[in-house]
């Protein structure tokens, strides 16, 4: 074989290798795009295509082991921490448990005496999580709200008679109780809203409370069969009443909305500003317009299978996953759902995709660099070979 033929064959091999690398690089980039699209519509490891009353079931958490002591008994409230920890109150066993989003046990508060505190939890009814990782527990049995750090040390406590739920927002703590609402301000002072009764400004077993993004406060006035919305300064904004509510309303309130729910328990606010709570009597989740209190939707079906509910009493919104976590009390478990319309599409897409954006950027940059380096290296080799081939041709023509 002549020198010219060998040179041209080698040049052809380089071109084929370059074409193959280009195809591989394009395939990797397409895979990255597909991965990004799938992240926009995330599914948990055990998500099934199961819909129950409009809800998409993701997973259920029953406990952390097979024995009865390791199982949840009758969970009443849930919260989601900034790291994704799902906090669950288990009043019958006097403890609060922290699970990963996939259901693995991370921490237990209350099963043994807390460091720095002589007594265990008696009946933890409500739980809240702060941005710094602190966990707030409303212990109904002791009439106290406790703050625990990441090492289960008690770093704060406040006396509140019969507390039932707790929420945290930018240094303020909101506690709902048998008798009303207590707001613990940043300076430690405590303000109370209302008293036990049926008046427009009263409460009767407030079993749910949540902050809105602007500091507004939403309360489940359970036995009065209504939900109440307050401005950050305590001004009553609207009342949403259920079908069985016999409590009074206030003419000064801007909005009095009539809903189709029976009672309200638990409270959460999603990324769209919608208010969500449980109706234990109907075993559904109810969604209200956070601005007016108008009922938007009801989701759920009665039953004991995964995806169904029996007497749910607590709810939390997981902003990192755009999902809701529900304390399915009578079924002795926690369930995770995707709820239709829980976040505006652009915001949800951005939140979901940004979780892996750094990895995608690194992979894309690496592939671009490899392709550039290969092309640069072999462009030079190709030029040399072409020059050699031209020299051979000139020699042959002489």
Mean pLDDT, residues 346-365:
58
59-68, 103-112, 151-160, 211-220: the lowest-pLDDT one: 103-112
H or E element, residue 284: strand 284-288
312 close to 266: Cβ distance less than 8 angstroms? yes
Select the more confidently predicted residue: 20 or 108.
Answer: 108
Residue 224 scores a pLDDT above 90? yes
Model confidence pLDDT, tens digit, residues 54-88: 899 999 999 999 999 999 999 999 999 999 999 99
174 CB burial (10 A radius; 0-12, 13-18, 19+): buried
225 close to 247: Cβ distance less than 8 angstroms? yes
Residue 313 scores a pLDDT above 90? yes
pLDDT number for residue 48: 38
At residue 70, φ and ψ (nearest 5 deg) are -95, -5
60-64, 142-146, 339-343: the lowest-pLDDT one: 339-343
Q: What is the DSSP letter of 145?
A: E
Closest by CA position to 25, among listed 370, 358, 356: 370
Residue 46 scores a pLDDT above 50? no
Model confidence pLDDT, tens digit, residues 226-265: 999 999 999 999 999 999 787 777 766 767 888 899 999 9
Please name the residues in contact with 189: beta carbons below 8 A apart, sequence gap of 6 or more. Answer: none
pLDDT number for residue 259: 87
User: Average model confidence (pLDDT) for the chain?
Assistant: 83
Q: What is the DSSP letter of 120?
A: -
Model confidence pLDDT, tens digit, residues 2-17: 666 666 666 677 677 6
pLDDT number for residue 40: 44
The model's confidence at residue 33, banded by pLDDT at 50, 70 and 90, is low
The model's confidence at residue 358, banded by pLDDT at 50, 70 and 90, is low
Model confidence pLDDT, tens digit, residues 166-189: 999 999 999 999 999 999 999 988
Alpha-carbon distance 75 to 86, whole Å? 12
The model's confidence at residue 341, banded by pLDDT at 50, 70 and 90, is confident
Percentage of the chain beyond pLDDT 70 is 73
Tally DSSP H helices, then E strands, for the chain.
3, 26
Axis-axis angle for helices 345-354, 3-40 (nearest 10)? 130
Mean pLDDT, residues 327-333:
98
Angle at 338 (CA atoms; ends 334, 340), nearest 5 degrees: 140
Closest by CA position to 125, among listed 109, 141, 111, 114: 141
pLDDT number for residue 256: 83
């Amino acid at each position: 074989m002549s020198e010219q033929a060998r040179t041209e064959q080698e040049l052809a091999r380089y071109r084929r290798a370059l074409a193959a690398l280009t195809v591989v690089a394009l395939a990797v980039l397409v895979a990255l795009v597909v991965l990004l699209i799938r992240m926009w519509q995330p599914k948990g490891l055990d998500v099934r295509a199961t819909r129950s009353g409009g809800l998409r079931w993701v997973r259920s958490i029953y406990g952390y082991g097979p024995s009865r002591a390791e199982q949840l008994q009758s969970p009443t409230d849930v919260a989601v921490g900034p790291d994704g920890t799902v906090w669950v109150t288990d009043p019958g066993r006097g403890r609060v448990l922290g699970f990963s989003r996939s259901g693995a046990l991370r921490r237990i508060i209350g099963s043994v005496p807390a460091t720095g505190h002589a007594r265990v939890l008696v009946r933890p009814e409500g739980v809240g999580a702060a941005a710094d990782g602190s966990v707030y527990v409303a212990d109904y049995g002791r009439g106290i709200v406790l703050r625990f750090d990441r090492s289960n040390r008690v770093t704060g406590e406040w006396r509140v008679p019969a507390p039932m739920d707790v929420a945290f927002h930018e240094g303020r703590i909101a506690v709902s109780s048998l008798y009303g609402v207590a707001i613990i301000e940043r300076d430690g002072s405590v303000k109370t809203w209302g008293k036990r009764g049926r008046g427009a400004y009263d409460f009767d077993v407030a079993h749910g409370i949540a902050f809105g993004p602007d500091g507004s406060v939403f309360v489940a006035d359970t036995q009065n069969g209504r939900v109440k919305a307050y401005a950050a300064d305590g001004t009553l904004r609207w009342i949403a009443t259920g079908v069985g509510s016999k409590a009074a309303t206030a003419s000064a309130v801007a909005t009095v909305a009539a809903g189709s729910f029976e009672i309200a328990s638990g409270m959460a606010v999603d990324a769209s500003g919608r208010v969500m709570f449980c109706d234990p009597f109907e075993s559904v989740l109810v969604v209200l317009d956070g601005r007016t209190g108008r009922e938007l939707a009801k989701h759920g079906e009665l039953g004991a299978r995964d995806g169904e509910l029996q007497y749910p009493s607590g709810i939390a919104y997981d902003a990192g996953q755009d999902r809701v976590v529900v304390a399915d009390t009578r079924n002795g478990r926690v369930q995770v759902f995707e709820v239709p319309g829980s976040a505006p599409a652009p915001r949800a897409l951005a939140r979901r995709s940004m979780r892996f954006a750094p990895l995608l950027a690194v992979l894309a940059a690496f592939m671009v660099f490899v392709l550039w380096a290969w092309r640069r290296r072999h462009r030079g080799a190709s030029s040399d070979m072409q020059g050699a081939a031209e020299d051979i041709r000139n020699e042959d023509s002489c």
